[in-house]
Structure 1
Amino acid sequence: MSFLGEKELKEQIKLIIPQYRPKFIDSNKYELCLGASYCASDSKFRVLQAEDNQIVVNPGEFYFLETYETVEMPNDVMGFISIKASIKFKGLVNVSGFHVDPHFRGKIVFSVLNAGPSPINLTIEEPLFQIWFAKLTSASESYNGKHQNQTGVNGKLLNDHMSGSDNASLGDLQKQIKDLDNKYEKVLVLASVLVVGILSLVFKAHLS
């Protein structure tokens, strides 16, 4: 297996990414852009559409994001995917797979988590993801996985991956912890008032 260099990438990219734009070829990799559909743990995992060409990934929340482009992998080429370093440094972490199977066709969907302290603003059709291509020593059998012909973030994707899920995001857990802290503080205040009241009654009884 060997990776496609810049020359080979420029020669083959149109066959792999029909919607490719030359400006997004960067050395031996292609920069994939962000699509408009997404879902988020803080929106109860409903399929949403970007507003004003922006998606805001809140701290501690889990999101499904899609590529703007559709890829059509040859049966003798494998893809390796990542998020651009400039976005990763803000805290956006890819928690899904890191490769694209030979013969896969469709949009790539990333599962991401904002592990940073601040919201991360993402712009539709701007480069967010990266893909490198590796030539295999022999062709693979046709890919027939459930993601074949994937059209991005949609109801089918959520049914496949989130059906019956009741997992709390980090943001949910932080809120629950904060709520417990507030309740604990209220209990301490009430307990202190009761103790002071009881001691006051005892002291008055002792004086009398």
Structure 2
Amino acid sequence: MSFWSSQTLRSRLPRLIEPFHQDHIQSASYELCLGDEVYISALPDTPQKERKKVTLRNQETIPIPPGQFAFLITSETIKVPNNALALISMKFKYTSKGLINVSGLHVDPGYSGKLIFAVYNAGPLHVNLARGERVFAIWYADLDEDDEKPRNKIGYDVIPTDLMNIGDAVSSLPVLVKRLDDLEKKVEKYSFVQAIVWGVSGSVILAIIGVLLRFVIEPLIQPLLNMIQSSLASS
């Protein structure tokens, strides 16, 4: 497998990437832009009608919150020949802020369509992305011959609903943190109630023991104590 050089990309990509911009070629790779659709994973209590994609206009930006998953689509339509393979990644500018690509790292031979990236913000701050911003990178490499099982299915043009449903099924970090906080509060509340119960129970038990000693046990052993005292006095 040999990767395409910048010169090869310049000559071949105009037929494989639409729209193509020559200045997007950087060190044997091509930089792809964020498209007009973004979907950020919904929280479990988000109403169903509010669980929808965001459509970006012009160079509009959207923040991806810490601990949230998102689906991002490219503005370009990509084609991969049957005798080639493509590798994809997020640019370091964004991974250094904590944005991680958690989807696949390659594009199959024969694929044609836009690319969808599943990303996760593992950083402490919001990561802002703008439509048309160069967020991704793609590399092409030759295979030794045409692949006998190329990708024949129609590729993506929009972010499909089934992917959004998968995103909703994943609990985000803020949700997990909230659940842990709620659990901690319940444990603290239970411990407080338990302490009160044990305190009251202990007082009641001590009171019962006192009553038993005074009114039950003491009358029973008092004659024996009197006999012992009388024996000691007579001796």
TM-score, scaled relative to structure 2: 0.74
For 2:101, give the aligned amino acid. N
- Matched residue of 1:138: which SS? coil
Partner secondary structure for residue 46 of structure 1: coil
Mean Cα displacement is larger for which, 170-179 or 148-157? 148-157
CA distance in 2, matches of 1:157, 1:199: 58
Decide which moves more: 112-121 or 78-87: 112-121
Residue by residue over 1:22-79, the C-alpha shift from the partner in whole angstroms, topping out at 9 and shown as x without a partner, is: 2211120011111121222235653232477112111111111111111122222211
Cross-structure match for 2:55 = 49
* Pairing 1:97-108 to 2, within 5 Å after superposition: 97-108=104-115
| DSSP-derived class of the 1:90 partner | coil
**CA–CA distance in structure 1, aligned partners of residues 126 and 200 of structure 2:** 47
Q: CA deviation at 1:199?
A: 7.7
Q: CA deviation at 1:18?
A: 2.1
Q: Distance in 2 between matches of 1:175 and 1:94?
A: 25
Alignment of 1:1-150 (within 5 A): 1-42=1-42, 46-50=52-56, 53-141=60-148, 142-145=150-153, 148-150=154-156
Partner AA of 1:152 in structure 2: V
Contact 1:108/1:152 (8 A) holds in 2: no
- Distance in 2 separating the partners of 1:180 and 1:35: 40
Deviation of 1:85 (Å): 0.9
Q: Would the aligned equivalents of 1:67 and 1:152 in 2 still touch at CA under 8 Å?
A: no
What's the counterpart of residue 184 of structure 2? 181
Deviation at 1:153, TM superposition (A): 1.1
Q: Note the residue ranges of structure 1 that are not aligned, 5 or more in a row.
A: none
Q: Which has the higher helix share?
A: 2
Q: How many aligned positions are there? A: 203
Distance 1:86 1:18 in 2: 24
Hey, what's the Cα distance between the residues in 1 that align with 2:179 and 2:35?
32
1:21 Cα deviation (Å)? 1.6
Match of 1:172 in 2: 175
| Structure 2 contact 41–164 (Cα < 8 Å) conserved | no
- Partner of 1:133, secondary structure, is strand
Q: Distance in 2 between matches of 1:102 and 1:42?
A: 33
Worse overlay, 185-194 or 51-60: 185-194
SS of the residue 1:42 aligns to = coil
Task: State the identity %.
Answer: 34
- Partner SS state of residue 102, structure 1: coil
Counterpart of 1:144, as a letter, is N
Corresponding residue SS for 1:177: helix
- Residues 88 and 138 of structure 2 are in contact (CA less than 8 Å); yes or no, is this contact kept in structure 1? yes
Higher strand share: 1
Deviation at 1:194, TM superposition (A): 5.9
**Runs (5+) with no aligned partner, structure 2:** 211-235
Query: What RMSD over aligned residues (CA atoms) do the two structures have, in Å?
Result: 2.9
> How far is 1:100 from its partner?
0.5
Please say which of residues 120-129 and 181-190 is displaced more in the overlay.
Answer: 181-190
